[in-house]
Structure 1
């Protein structure tokens, strides 16, 4: 498995994006959740369980358009806990700006 920092950095970069087949594979290979027999788990429910059990503040939602299915990674932490991840006022202002762009 990649380091926790690398995984969190990767997840931060894909939050809110539609993950189709290629991106799903990339997510699966980055997180690398394995069962007791060492098999990589490819189900978003298994990955969500891993996130929950290890207090990783993300959640995968399965979604679909009229003809395509995709996953979307969202934050699964309180806003206050999310802000604690940032060390400077500049980073918090950037985050708030980024969030306002997604809301519109």
Structure 2
């Protein structure tokens, strides 16, 4: 008869454990992520509106390109702040 091992594999458990952030950094992180979600939501709404309401394909393409550029520009400062926070949260090895 084969014996079955019920040993716990800690390496897999450690990979899936939630990360805990500094109490001072977590509110800022949540605020940045919330702001990015709002920006993305507004962008998606604007894209849908242009796509549904613009009969001229060439004009639609130009407006969508401009919206994409504005979206990128609005997001960039928040992305940069997230990168700075990430550097502060990750212990240097």
Question: TM-score normalised to the size of structure 1?
Answer: 0.23
Structure with more of its chain in strand, by fraction: 1
Structure with more of its chain in helix, by fraction: 2
Q: Which of 1 and 2 has higher RCO (CA within 8 Å, sep 6+)? A: 2
